[in-house]
Structure 1
């Protein structure tokens, strides 16, 4: 069994990434949960090219963005500079991040936890959040609600999922194939890229699936209490057919944690 899970370099090409990810349907949700106090400190983990970081900073918030990919951060810094903003973007692995400071709100957006392929990776990331979150602070994250029917259907054939033009003038077409590994809960996704009408490469977009009760338990074991769990960014009730799992969490006190883990 192949355990070399990864995200292909071309997927993290900043212009190709930005051309695909133009939506902001999640922005208002994250803005809603920001502290009213503009002096609050905000930390975004897996910030990418600043799709959410920059508009939050434009609202006057002190926000810091962390990402693992240099090209994404370079793009984020360029966009922030053009907007006249000074944002602290940090290149780091969220599993080992140690900023030696606390934040009022921390969030991991855009399904990023799906690239934490092993439980130990997930718990290291949650430990990073716990170590950087102030008492009384909030932790928000979103990810997919696994749809097994979709995975089964997607395994049958290659499908076109996107066609667009990048800011630097490239015509991009992406076709997708999927193969699901039951043992590891990894969706082995391959994106077949065609650029300017020519086949370019096959890029992996492997994603670990987290089932609802499983993720609820992991968050509890990591020391978080769920304030809300939504099924969409309009704060829809989470239910069987919800596309998303969206959490608003707080830190459990030591007493609360001991009590929770007894059940």
Structure 2
């Protein structure tokens, strides 16, 4: 796959097992999606599906799941998990801005704030064009992204915590620095244990609510609702998240 804006922004996903262990107990987005899919045996598409945290249980529920991710290592790990549990999911390494799947669906979703990986206006547009090509008329697209709370973003945030990785206590020092012109936050983490020290980083774009609404309208989507969390909290200026529920008109 040719280099693009995502290619150098994947170091956070270098160890799929550790990533899966970190997030395996989080279920709010899964419960939201499960409740939304009231009819069983639907053909659905998950973008940026990672290690299959949602795709596998949704396949277990009876849905035909097509999962795509740009990181081959994450998908390999997801496939091993699915095989071990005896669930059939269709996984493919793809750039979400250039989707090429053999099906169209009534439902596409993307969680984990993956929308923040689309750093430019061009890639955000390309994402919606790709989604639109794979949705049936009146099909729904649900995704989340962090709500930009400006007074928090403008502070250079340095935090330190101790976590357990591979049975060993590791100190993690993280720093976030936001560029208000590009709306991109550069996040770097340093991991220090008795055996080694290493760093990873990620760039994340923050998109404002009115930008999102215009983006949806521009690409022929109707905004059904914005929630403040996957637990359907009311969205307001202090909400950490925006969970966007849109329909293709």
TM-score by length of 1: 0.86
State the Cα distance separating 1:93 from its structure 2 match.
0.5
Matching residue of 1:224: 221
- CA shift in 2, pair 1:85/1:100, >3 Å: closer
Matching residue of 1:70: 72
- Unaligned runs of 5+ residues in structure 1 are 253-263
Whole-angstrom distance in 2 between the partners of 1:161 and 1:152: 22
User: RMSD over aligned Cα, in angstroms?
Assistant: 1.8
- CA shift in 2, pair 1:200/1:94, >3 Å: same
Matching residue of 1:182: 180
| Contact 1:10 1:16 (C-alpha < 8 Å) held by counterparts | no
| Contact 2:12 2:202 (C-alpha < 8 Å) held by counterparts | no
Whole-angstrom distance in 1 between the partners of 2:209 and 2:246: 15
| Contact 2:11 2:202 (C-alpha < 8 Å) held by counterparts | no
Matching residue of 1:159: 159
| Contact 1:65 1:89 (C-alpha < 8 Å) held by counterparts | yes
- Unaligned runs of 5+ residues in structure 2 are none
| Contact 2:13 2:74 (C-alpha < 8 Å) held by counterparts | no
Whole-angstrom distance in 1 between the partners of 2:162 and 2:142: 28
Q: Deviations over 1:102-135 (max 9, x none)?
A: 1121001110010111010011011111000011
Matched positions, count: 243
Matching residue of 1:103: 105
| Contact 2:223 2:244 (C-alpha < 8 Å) held by counterparts | yes
Q: Equivalences for 1:72-221 in 2 at 5 Å?
A: 72-153=74-155, 155-156=156-157, 158-161=158-161, 163-166=163-166, 169=167, 171-194=169-192, 196-221=193-218
| Contact 1:225 1:251 (C-alpha < 8 Å) held by counterparts | yes
- CA shift in 2, pair 1:162/1:21, >3 Å: farther
Deviating beyond 4 angstroms after TM superposition, the runs of 4 or more aligned structure 1 residues are 169-172
